[in-house]
Amino acid sequence: MGKPTGFMEISRQDRRYKLVADRLQHYQEFVVPLTEEEVSRQGARCMDCGIPYCHQGCPVNNIIPDWNDLVYQGNWREAIEVLHSTNNFPEFTGRICPAPCEAACTLNLTDEPVTIKTIECSIIDKAWEMGWVKPLIPQHRTGKKVAVVGSGPAGLACAQQLARVGHSVVVYEKADRIGGLLRYGIPDFKMEKHLIDRRIAQMQAEGVVFRPNSHIGRDVPVQKLLDNYDAVILAGGAEKPRDLNVPGRELNGVHFAMEFLPQQNRRVAGDTLSDDTSIWATGKHVIVIGGGDTGSDCIGTSARHGAASITQLEILPKPPEKEKKEVTWPNWPNKLRTSSSHEEGCERF
């Protein structure tokens, strides 16, 4: 796949970020994409490794070596067809997936994996730019009706696949906008929401009907779904936060991440929030408990609010900065990961 000697001739090159001082002034994405020529050269690095361990790492079974090679060959139109064959929304995963495929890449044995995530995002961004992404409207309808409860990535992908084979699909979402955690959990600086709106428009053209402000079991009786649909898909997320039963938990200023993050997404969307319920980190010394991606999102949001300081606490021991490849590869390694939000300023313990 790619150029047989590409991995020996071409160094790994990934997208870069705009300067911290610039990106802290807004909530837009701040990734600087590679040029088409640069992406093609990165695709050339995909080696004929025999066993594509990147497949093992990818949770959606992307056919990664194939579209790496197609990009190298300049066949971008065919590359998006291959990418879409396994992934309904590569513009989402190309921005927010942690890329376990790259950890599993054979070239990661030398710390120079193929820039799979960047290539994926470049393919779909070019496809939208060129007008290659169009509604796939079924020629025949089955007469079957399906209700999908939840409009996160799982619910959306499920609804799109069902609609494309001819079923009548209605997506129910309890929030006021479609997208689940894509809409209200992921900060805009990691993924702007017009990307969701663009897909919703495509799915509506394919026949999917969206019903926001529809909380099943409260606004819409469960029995109504059972009576009116041939099948009901439950694609709701796990929104119940993990609480900490510790002294001081009842004090003011202690919030769950999913109380804090959605508020900022709503502000960016143009909503006006009540001063009584608004959570701001401006001028405050912020402590983020939890060392994962959600904690990182809280750090980046707090930095944009203008926090006086940000400290992140993690219960587990500090992992090594570099994993032992002979022990962990091709599995997802436990190592210290520094996100773009960490680079914007925080202490970690």
User: pLDDT-derived band of residue 1, with 50, 70 and 90 as boundaries?
Assistant: low
Phi, psi of 168 (to 5 degrees): -90, 120
- Domains of the chain (ranges, CATH numbers): 6-130 (1.10.1060.10), 145-234 (3.50.50.60), 257-348 (no CATH)
Stretch 290-319: mean pLDDT: 96
Q: What does the DSSP 8-state code read for residue 321?
A: S
How many percent of the chain have pLDDT more than 70?
100
User: pLDDT-derived band of residue 265, with 50, 70 and 90 as boundaries?
Assistant: very high
- Maximum alpha-carbon separation in the chain: 62
User: pLDDT tens digits, residue range 29-76?
Assistant: 999 999 999 999 999 999 989 999 999 999 999 999 999 999 999 999
Contact (CB, 8 A) for 27 and 188: yes
Stretch 321-329: mean pLDDT: 94
The pLDDT value given to residue 213: 97
Stretch 96-124: mean pLDDT: 97
How many percent of the chain have pLDDT more than 90?
96
The pLDDT value given to residue 283: 98
The pairing of strands 231-234 and 285-289 is unpaired
Contact (CB, 8 A) for 133 and 80: yes
Residues 6+ apart with CB under 8 A from 319: 334, 335, 336
User: pLDDT tens digits, residue range 168-217?
Assistant: 999 999 999 999 999 999 999 999 999 999 999 999 999 999 999 999 99
Give the angle subtended at the CA of 82 by the CAs of 55 and 113, to the nearest 5°: 40
Question: Please, which residues bridge with residue 31 across strands?
Answer: 17
Amino acid, res. 136: L
User: pLDDT tens digits, residue range 337-346?
Assistant: 999 999 999 9
Cα–Cα dist 277/288, whole Å: 19
| pLDDT above 90 for 276 | no
Residues 6+ apart with CB under 8 A from 275: none
